[in-house]
Structure 1
Amino acid sequence: MLYQTPVLTDDDKRVLGELDTMRDNLRYQIAEPHRWTGQLRRTLIAHAIQGSNSIEGYQVSLDDAAAAVAGDEPVETSPQTWEVITGYRDALTYVQQLARSREFTWQHMLVNALHFMMLRHDLAKWPGRFRPGDIHIDEAHTGRRVYTGPDADDVPSLISELIEWLTDGEPETPLLVRASMAHLNLVKIHPWRDGNGRMSRCLHTLVLARDGVLAPEFSSIEEWLGVGRNTYAYYDALGEAGGRHWQPDNDTSKWIRFCLSAHHQQAQLVRQRIDQAAHLWELLDTWSRRNGLPERVVSALHLAATGGRVRRTLYQRDENLTDDQATRDLRALVRAGMIDQHGETRGRFYLASPALRDLAAPALRPKEIIDPYRQ
């Protein structure tokens, strides 16, 4: 028996209705071709990688997470952590591909394959294989045992039940609720020696991706879950819904409320980033025209203005330029006082200058993110 989907409250239904509207609006906004869409997608994926791994104690800067997405090397991240980050990147890339797969089926080997991608760097953790024995979760700062997973002998049958449910169980249940329940059940089964939290968040994203309404990077709540106090609230919600051992009779209503609130707040943030990207691109395009620079430099300015490190190789790939073209463009932006050079030779990168930050400020003013259950 799995943890069961709760009866939705009127508030839950209201929030779901608002989310449906927000998701439809986002779909229409990103369906239209824009020069800034590629950067936004990369940034959202980088935030998801950063957020989900930070929950497990693997810290990576947003710049290095974005480098992982782009296939570049890190500036600050240790080799050991980089293995973790690139493994998670590969799993999310596979999820993006599965979103459009016509021959897709839910099966044991699918979840084990995703797990292998995440943990292939450490064979001692049995990547792609279910755990052979008991598993416990202890609180880091107190040593108190907070969860004991089901017996290892029960794991295959519980995963089979979850796979069957994902295939055709409760088809009338709203998508966001189904994804949240898949997340809860997998993390409570805790089928692997390590990586159970990351896998459960990845499964949540995959369930959403298969719907096809929005690309995974626009649907995921991994970024939101990895931000400060949200992480503690996430652990509390999992603990309250799941109990201290496998208790599928527990009430899961607060877990659903927590996840719907997370989805709503992340959707507000994504909508804000889309609006900011469009406004910022317009400002920078106007500046480049006035200063006689080619339109393509706007992508480098946009990345720098949003806090990113501009590397020649990344700019060159984004705009399909030669080495010389990319180098000339970046030097021109330095001469114009819009970006500042840091580092030398292969480690060289560019950051926004004070002048660029001032120009971009009107487009990047943040708006308050509101908990939909506290309106």
Structure 2
Amino acid sequence: MLFRLPEIDDADGRVLAGLERLRADLRHQVAEPRRWLGQLRRSLIAGAIRGSNTIEGFTVGVADAEAAAAGEEMPTPHDRQTRDAIAGYTDALTYVQQAARFEVFSYHPMLLSVLHFTMLRSELERSPGRYRLGPIWVAGSPDNPPVYTGPDAALLPDLVEELCGWLQNGDLDAPAVVRAAMAHLNLVSIHPWRDGNGRMSRCLHTLVLARELILAPEFSSIEEWLGSSPYNTAMYYAALGEAQGGSYQPDRDAHGWVRFCLRAHHLQAQTVERRLETAREIWRVLADQVAAAGLGERAVAALYAATRPDGVRRVTYARDEGLTRDQAVRDLQGLKKAGLIEEVGHGRTQRYLAVGPAAQAERSVRNEHAGRPLRDPYGSP
């Protein structure tokens, strides 16, 4: 037995309608060719990687997550377990992005096992991809009783099979975001594996939305929002705890959980909308500075990338823009000579950071947009 879809009330309906309006606007904006969209997409993918792993205690900086999303080595040294967790989740999320448009696709227990193996492949001692063989519980802290106890291991094959059958054929007329929330709740409550259940459940949430083509997965995920602050993470665990009731009780009402997810999606969509507006304005200001310096329009992409937390590497810029090594070097040296970027590091760590008027303009635009509070879709404080 699985958690059933709850009744959607009028307040939920208004939030769903508002979320659809936000997404329609985002679809329109991302459909227009904008050279900064590629970098924004990578930033959003990095946010999902960083957010979901932060919840599990694997914390990396923005620059590290963006490097992982770009397929590059993280600039900051980390222990092996953290590096492996980030790499595994990045690979799983890459699959989700591609699976959005697979012509042949079905939800199957083997799909979930493969995704789980992808995430935890470096920890074979944890049996990635294999169901746990014994009991499991989630401990709030070593000094307190478990906050959640999963179902008996003997029930796992049937429960996962039922979940995949529901994903394939159940409640198909329900809003996709509601189905994604219920897939998340059911998988994390079944807790089929020894480890990685939370990451897998958040990844499945994103996969359900990706398959419905709500938007590109990087624009639809709430993984970044869930892990973006201790407050958000605490609310996430509280919503899960309220729905689960401490053990596997699928007859409990999941309305509070669905409402939590709808609110999170709405807030994440507002955040993405703000980033689009911010990116557009930053690009415009930097384009004026590049033109005033007498440089070609192509260099705007390099200068925009240099405003990111870890700046821009020559190889990344060349790859993103389809340039030769000499073209990339020429653009970067021109920006450096104009006093818009500076070079830091050497060899593998060498990168370029925005300075002077470029850095000032980026900070000014970002601070202006960040000063506006987000709207709570349910109107609560």
TM-score (norm 1): 0.97
Task: Give how far 1:154 is off.
Answer: 0.3
8 Å CA contact 1:11, 1:373 repeated in 2 = yes
Aligned to 1:150: 151
1:177 counterpart = 2:178: yes
Aligned to 1:39: 39
Query: Identity percentage over the alignment?
Result: 53
Aligned to 1:350: 352
Please, which runs of 5 or more residues in structure 1 have no aligned partner? none
8 Å CA contact 1:133, 1:151 repeated in 2 = yes
- Aligned residue for 1:102, secondary structure, equals coil
| Structure 2 Cα separation of the partners of residues 136 and 77 of structure 1 | 32
Task: Give how far 1:354 is off.
Answer: 4.0
Query: 1:104 is aligned with what amino acid?
Result: F
Point out the more displaced range, 193-202 or 343-352.
343-352
Query: 2:303 is aligned with what amino acid?
Result: L
Query: 1:6 is aligned with what amino acid?
Result: P
Query: 2:105 is aligned with what amino acid?
Result: F
**CA 1:77–1:260 in 2, change beyond 3 Å: closer, same or farther?**
farther
- Aligned residue for 1:373, secondary structure, equals coil
Aligned to 1:265: 267
8 Å CA contact 2:299, 2:331 repeated in 1 = yes
8 Å CA contact 2:134, 2:152 repeated in 1 = yes
1:372 counterpart = 2:373: no
Q: Once the two structures are superposed, what CA deviation does each residue of 1:127-148 show, in whole Å capped at 9, x if it has no partner? A: 1111111111111364431111
- Aligned residue for 1:194, secondary structure, equals coil
Which runs of structure 2 are paired with 1:92-241 in the superposition (5 Å)?
Answer: 92-140=93-141, 142-228=143-229, 229-241=231-243
Task: Give how far 1:285 is off.
Answer: 1.4
Aligned to 1:256: 258
Alignment RMSD, CA only?
Answer: 1.3
8 Å CA contact 1:60, 1:77 repeated in 2 = no
Query: 2:69 is aligned with what amino acid?
Result: V
8 Å CA contact 1:115, 1:128 repeated in 2 = yes
Aligned to 1:10: 10
Aligned to 2:74: 74
8 Å CA contact 1:64, 1:77 repeated in 2 = no
Task: Give how far 1:300 is off.
Answer: 1.8
| Structure 1 Cα separation of the partners of residues 92 and 239 of structure 2 | 25
Point out the more displaced range, 202-211 or 309-318.
309-318
Q: Once the two structures are superposed, what CA deviation does each residue of 1:270-301 show, in whole Å capped at 9, x if it has no partner? A: 01111111111111112111211122221121
Point out the more displaced range, 282-291 or 161-170.
282-291
Query: 1:300 is aligned with what amino acid?
Result: A
Structure 1: 4+ residue segments shifted above 3 A: none
1:246 counterpart = 2:248: yes
| Structure 2 Cα separation of the partners of residues 10 and 354 of structure 1 | 51
Query: 2:204 is aligned with what amino acid?
Result: L
Task: Give how far 1:164 is off.
Answer: 0.9
| Structure 2 Cα separation of the partners of residues 369 and 303 of structure 1 | 26
| Structure 2 Cα separation of the partners of residues 147 and 324 of structure 1 | 58
Aligned to 1:339: 341
Query: 2:275 is aligned with what amino acid?
Result: R
Task: Give how far 1:352 is off.
Answer: 2.2
Please, which runs of 5 or more residues in structure 2 have no aligned partner? none
| Structure 1 Cα separation of the partners of residues 283 and 10 of structure 2 | 40
Query: 1:208 is aligned with what amino acid?
Result: L
Point out the more displaced range, 195-204 or 68-77.
68-77
| Structure 1 Cα separation of the partners of residues 234 and 302 of structure 2 | 36
Q: Once the two structures are superposed, what CA deviation does each residue of 1:147-166 show, in whole Å capped at 9, x if it has no partner? A: 11001110110001101110
8 Å CA contact 1:307, 1:352 repeated in 2 = no
- Aligned residue for 1:350, secondary structure, equals strand
8 Å CA contact 1:91, 1:118 repeated in 2 = yes
Aligned to 1:61: 61
- Aligned residue for 2:138, secondary structure, equals strand
Which runs of structure 2 are paired with 1:248-327 in the superposition (5 Å)?
Answer: 248-327=250-329
| Structure 2 Cα separation of the partners of residues 278 and 55 of structure 1 | 31
Point out the more displaced range, 76-85 or 33-42.
76-85
Q: How many residues end up aligned between the 2 structures?
A: 375
8 Å CA contact 1:116, 1:128 repeated in 2 = yes
| Structure 2 Cα separation of the partners of residues 147 and 323 of structure 1 | 54
**CA 1:142–1:327 in 2, change beyond 3 Å: closer, same or farther?**
farther
8 Å CA contact 2:50, 2:65 repeated in 1 = yes
| Structure 2 Cα separation of the partners of residues 322 and 264 of structure 1 | 41
Q: Once the two structures are superposed, what CA deviation does each residue of 1:175-194 show, in whole Å capped at 9, x if it has no partner? A: 11110000000000000111
| Structure 1 Cα separation of the partners of residues 156 and 311 of structure 2 | 44
